[in-house]
Amino acid sequence: MVNAVTEKAELNHQSVHQWQLKILLLCWEYPPNVVGGLSRHVFCLAVQLAGQGHEVHVLTAGNGRLPGYEKTNGVHVHRVNPINAHDEHFLVWIGGLNLAMAFKGEQLAEELKFDLIHAHDWLVGAAGIALKEVLGIPLLTTIHATEHGRNNGIHNEIQQFIHEQELALMSASEEMIVCSQYMKESLMNIFHIEEKKMMVIPNGIEPPRNEIEEESVFPELTKRKYIFSIGRMVKEKGFETIIKAAEMAKEREYNYFFIVAGKGPLLETYKRQVEERGLAQQVAFIGSVTDEERDALIKGSEMIVVPSVYEPFGIVALEGMIQDKPVIVSNAGGMKGIVRHLQTGLLMNPGDAQSLLDQIGFLVNNRKTACEIGINGGKVARGLYGWGRIAAETSRLMEDMVLNTRANMNETTQ
């Protein structure tokens, strides 16, 4: 993915922009520090914006091993260590990171005249708000997910704290980006954000290189058909549905084998459930994989399953579609905006193992249609979700924000 993104960014370097923005981009994770999909999203966006002619500075967390500054793929990357870097309480750690980021951002601004700040999620919200006030420049925020959505409501003090941090960041932002119409409607309903303040710009996807074979990732897959899924091992991703479906498939003597990749707090719980239910021949949780290994596993699979009960967008669906694989996704969140049932993929009922088995059965028993669905999905993924297009839309929004800010400043000084 990284090579494909950087090559296209180089091709785009002959920018159509008449002027260059200096962008301060805030994100708590950035490659090679990868916790989830947020890191990859910000990397691709930053590289493409730089390739389109803007000067992009990413401010992110360090880990003691990575350099404090480097220019890579045309992007200036500045890493800071949280003030309380060894605190095991995550919210305290995040607070210390935001203090360090705000301080570093102010330092950078002494030499660089930034045009705007682009913050990604509440994790960097405090720094984004502080820098907006200190530097007097507009704040653009991308909301990738919400605490309310992840937990189907706010149920305890920690969730309430995060919910309030999200609201504070949204309120302070001049403009916001959301990845789907579903997310836009969610923010309007939950946070009462004005519709005119939000712009829907989807996540992007790049074609894989497929430089390795799936057997090198998981040797047991040699000449074996399998269904693939990947995601962070948390409740909202819905992997319990796959375990239940595997159990039902075993009872009915269906020859289905599920491979599930990803890391997270529930990984060992899922592995234990597979062992306790005697499902080792039906489902395997293989843990973390690299981007190249993920792409190889997608390439070798029969189909892709994304069983999330909460999913603002659904990048995994696109990762399957761009390889012309038929995908089965939950009829929930942003994914129902990507997939059209029986045209570019199949929709299942969230959390419903029988619904999942029904969709799998359809694809298994209708191979020609399954192939057509995969090809149609691939056309959609390549045509609508390329990172060059996503970055160009983001760039236009940024330019409009800066122009509006300058126009308003001129009005107040006259």
What is the number of other CB atoms lying within 10 angstroms of the CB of residue 385? 19
Three-class DSSP category at 116? strand
pTM of the model: 0.81
Q: Are 217 and 301 in contact (CB under 8 A)?
A: no
Q: Are 52 and 46 in contact (CB under 8 A)?
A: no
Which domains, ranges and CATH numbers included, belong to the chain?
A: 2-206+386-413 (3.40.50.2000), 214-384 (3.40.50.2000)
**Alpha-carbon distance values, 14 to 8, 10, 18, 117, 224 (Å):** 11, 8, 11, 24, 47
Q: Where are the alpha helices (DSSP H) in 232-366?
A: 239-251, 267-276, 291-300, 315-321, 335-338, 353-365
User: What is the rounded average pLDDT of the residues 288-308?
Assistant: 93
pLDDT at 17 > cutoff 60: no
Tell me the per-residue pLDDT of 189-228, one tens digit each, with 9 for 90 and over: 999 999 999 999 998 888 887 677 777 777 777 678 999 9
Tell me the per-residue pLDDT of 221-277, one tens digit each, with 9 for 90 and over: 767 899 999 999 999 999 999 999 999 999 999 999 999 999 999 999 999 999 999
Would you place residue 396 in the very low, low, confident or very high pLDDT band (cuts 50, 70, 90)?
A: very high
pLDDT at 10 > cutoff 50: no
Q: Hey, what's the torsion of the CAs at 402, 384, 204, 12, to 10 degrees?
A: -60
Tell me the per-residue pLDDT of 123-161, one tens digit each, with 9 for 90 and over: 999 999 999 999 999 999 999 999 998 888 999 999 999
